């Protein structure tokens, strides 16, 4: 008798796809909502994770990736193994959840999904919720053999080296006011020369529980901005929170080369050796 095939899961997982799989072996649901939301209503069996544990603390560049030791301890405390499929969600459509999934990709753990629409979709579509705190699983000894930084992560020198690369697009997913430098968030405000701007929230359908807009609609908008799958795309926001969601969206759309700039504007705008412009170039319509 042939062996039973291992179930596979799409990168963007809808609520009706998740519910029948709850409780399966090697399956972990992680809730990154506000603690009070988790305490009142969450996906049954979901573990709550404090978002702050996903970023390096104590630096002006508040989105940096923690070191291997920290991440190994974090994922061990969640009971993660190399075989675990992680499903992440939050209460804002996917920013915090996206950061968790990008982090997993950065360390080479590729088995993960984003719950489409997050908590809002789960609740509004009538799926079962729980207010019972999920007990942490048995701690594992998750090992990080080497980060996948060659393909998933961009640091400041890498971005500087690719500003004028015709095969690379810098995608700034902050608000238009941040991009223009009208909102002060760092010592220097504005955007990287040549960067294109598309607010991260465009990908969400606010009339459909924050689920992703249709694939065709997203592709049309991206292509109009010159963001095409033949180019490498470097995404950033202020702390690689909003842009981590965009990273997942681009991956789901089939973009093969996407990097997240973890330091984002909290690093770029607070340095003195990085070029900044406040022009109106490449504002998304």
Kindly tell me the sign of the dihedral angle through the C-alpha atoms of 165, 166, 169, 170.
positive
Q: Are strands 211-212 and 204-205 parallel, antiparallel or unpaired?
A: antiparallel
Query: Residue 130 domain-assigned?
Result: no
pLDDT at 29 over 50: yes
How far apart, in whole angstroms, are the C-alpha atoms of residue 74 and residue 53?
8
Query: Residue 3 domain-assigned?
Result: no
Residues 20 and 118 in one domain: yes
Average pLDDT over residues 162-178: 97
Residue 145's pLDDT band, with cuts at 50, 70 and 90, is confident
Is the model more confident about 285 or about 254? 254
Average pLDDT over residues 171-191: 95
pLDDT confidence of residue 146? 61
Residues 22 and 109 in one domain: yes
Residues 196 and 117 in one domain: no
Query: Residue 279 domain-assigned?
Result: no
3-state secondary structure of 165: coil
For residues 25 and 112, is the Cβ–Cβ distance under 8 A? Answer: no
How far apart, in whole angstroms, are the C-alpha atoms of residue 201 and residue 93?
9
Domain that residue 254 falls in: 149-268
Query: Residue 144 domain-assigned?
Result: no
Q: How many CB atoms lie within 10 A of CB 275?
A: 13
Residues 112 and 167 in one domain: no
Lowest mean pLDDT among 53-67, 91-105, 182-196: 53-67
How far apart, in whole angstroms, are the C-alpha atoms of residue 188 and residue 200?
22
Query: Residue 233 domain-assigned?
Result: yes
CA atoms within 13 A of residue 207's CA, in its CB half-sphere:
2
Name the token pair of 99: 């950061």
Average pLDDT over residues 212-240: 98
Residue with tokens 């997982």: 13
Given 124, 140, 167, which residue is the final one in a domain? 124
pLDDT at 73 over 90: yes
CATH code of residue 100: 3.40.250.10
Query: Residue 35 domain-assigned?
Result: yes
Residues 254 and 165 in one domain: yes
pTM confidence score:
0.93
How far apart, in whole angstroms, are the C-alpha atoms of residue 260 and residue 269?
16
Residues 156 and 84 in one domain: no
In the set 237, 248, 253, 258, the catalytic residue is: 237
pLDDT confidence of residue 62? 84
CA atoms within 13 A of residue 215's CA, in its CB half-sphere:
6
Query: Residue 253 domain-assigned?
Result: yes
pLDDT confidence of residue 5? 39
Residues 255 and 156 in one domain: yes
Query: Residue 274 domain-assigned?
Result: no
Q: How many domains does the chain contain in total? A: 2
Average pLDDT over residues 169-197: 96
Residues 176 and 239 in one domain: yes
For residues 198 and 173, is the Cβ–Cβ distance under 8 A? Answer: yes
Residues 162 and 264 in one domain: yes
- Beta carbons within 8 Å of 273's beta carbon, 6+ residues apart: none
Residues 118 and 165 in one domain: no
- pLDDT tens digit sequence for 107-126: 999 999 999 999 999 999 99
pLDDT at 283 over 80: no
Residues 99 and 160 in one domain: no
Known catalytic membership, residue 33: no
Chain-centre distance for alpha carbon 33? 14
Q: Look at residues 104, 145, 102, 139 and name the one whose alpha carbon lies nearest to residue 248.
A: 102
Residues 217 and 172 in one domain: yes
């Amino acid at each position: 008798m042939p062996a039973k095939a291992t179930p596979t899961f799409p990168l963007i997982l809808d609520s009706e796809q998740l519910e029948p799989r709850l409780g399966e072996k090697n399956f972990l649901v992680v809730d990154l909502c506000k603690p009070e939301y988790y305490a009142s209503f969450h996906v049954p069996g979901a573990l709550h994770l404090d978002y702050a544990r996903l970023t390096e603390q104590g630096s002006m560049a508040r989105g940096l990736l923690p070191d291997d030791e920290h991440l190994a301890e974090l994922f061990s405390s969640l009971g993660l193994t190399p075989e675990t499929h992680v499903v992440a969600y939050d209460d804002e459509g996917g920013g915090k959840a996206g950061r968790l999934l990008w982090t997993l990709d950065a360390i080479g753990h590729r088995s993960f999904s984003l719950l489409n629409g997050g908590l809002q979709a789960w609740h509004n579509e009538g799926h079962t919720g729980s207010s019972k705190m999920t007990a942490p699983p048995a701690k594992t000894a998750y090992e990080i053999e080497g980060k996948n930084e060659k393909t998933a992560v961009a640091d400041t020198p890498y971005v500087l080296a690719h500003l004028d690369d015709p095969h690379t697009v810098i995608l700034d997913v902050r608000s238009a006011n941040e991009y223009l430098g009208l909102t002060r968030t760092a010592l220097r405000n504005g955007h990287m020369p040549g960067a294109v701007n598309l607010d991260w929230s465009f990908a969400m359908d606010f009339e459909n529980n924050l689920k992703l807009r249709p694939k065709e609609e997203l592709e049309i908008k991206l292509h109009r901005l010159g963001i095409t799958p033949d180019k490498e795309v470097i995404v950033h926001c202020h702390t690689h929170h909003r842009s981590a969601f965009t990273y997942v969206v681009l991956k789901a759309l089939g973009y093969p080369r996407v990097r997240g700039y973890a330091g984002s504007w909290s690093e770029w705008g607070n340095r003195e050796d990085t070029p900044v412009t406040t022009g109106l170039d490449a504002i998304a319509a």
